Structure 1
Amino acid sequence: MKDFEPLSYFGLEISSRFDGYYLSQAKYVSNILARFGITDFATSSTPLDPNVCLTPFDGVPFKNLTLYRQLVVNLIYLTVTRPDIAYAVYVVSQFMAAPHTIHFIALLRILCYVKGSLGHGL
């Protein structure tokens, strides 16, 4: 195996400093928000509403299964550097087979939470 150049980005931003390597996914988050048109949403202080209990039968079935699944998969990859959203992503990933609108709203809340922490050393 040869080392041709320093590794810098593959969904993870890698920076090398004198005291070690640092990982970030700020660019990855910005790309997700831009690709799915979520840049104008307000931020959230928590990834999930603590008073909501999601079940498979809540609300109206969500029509765009592909959108829901793509967002969940993107969030799963994001948990590499964001363990604070791991439980919330686990919860919304349970509904990938048949999501409802309430599940999509919970998914958007996670994205809004992540968006709100972009400037805080993500």
Structure 2
Amino acid sequence: MKSLGPLQYFLGLEISDTSDGYYLSQAKHVSDLLSSAGLTDSKTAPTPLDSDYRLTPMDGVPLDDPTLYHQLVGSLIYLTVTQPDIAYVIHIISRFMYAPRMTYHSAGLRIVR
């Protein structure tokens, strides 16, 4: 066994050691998520979802390729490690993993912004 030095990056988490303690960040994960979704130059949204926004199982058109939606939701779930404030809205959109539709995908992209 050998020492690789202080821990700085592990499983997408950036770890900073300061006198106050350890700080976790997922800046690279968010950057990769924004670029894969094509949102690097988009305007930010003030909230992850509007408070009156309701999703139902029959909203919108079914997605041709549900894997994009699955990847987006999975990445957002992993992001809750350092951003627990978005956990509820991710729970809302993850309820529709069995039959994703375009409106759910749009809601997921809004969370990313």
Instruction: Output the TM-score relative to the length of structure 1.
Output: 0.85
Partners of 2:107 and 2:36 in 1: how far apart?
Answer: 19
Structure 1 runs (4+) greater than 4 angstroms displaced:
none
Unaligned runs of 5+ in 1: 113-122
Give 1:68 deviation, angstroms. Answer: 0.4
1:6-55 alpha-carbon deviations (Å, 9 max, x no partner): 11112111000112111111121001111232212211011111111101
Partner of 1:36: 37
Which TM-score applies when normalising by structure 2? 0.92
- Name the % identity: 58
Q: What is the identity, as a one-letter code, of the residue corresponding to 2:71? A: Q
Read off the aligned partner of 2:7 and give its amino acid letter: L
Q: 2:8 touches 2:14 (CA, 8 Å); kept in 1?
A: yes
Q: 2:77 aligned with 1:69, yes or no?
A: no
Return the alpha-carbon distance in structure 1 between the equivalents of residues 95 and 59 of structure 2: 13
**Cα contact 2:37–2:109 (8 A) shared by 1:** no
Which residue in 1 is equivalent to 2:111?
110
- Root-mean-square deviation (CA, aligned residues, Å) is 1.3
Structure 2 unmatched ranges of 5 or more: none
Cα distance in 2 for residues equivalent to 1:72 and 1:9: 23
The answer for the alignment partner of 2:17 in structure 1 is 16
Which residue identity is paired with 2:88? Answer: Y
Match of 1:78 in 2: 79
Q: Can you list the C-alpha shifts for 1:60-94, whole angstroms capped at 9, x where unaligned?
A: 11222111000100000000110110001111111
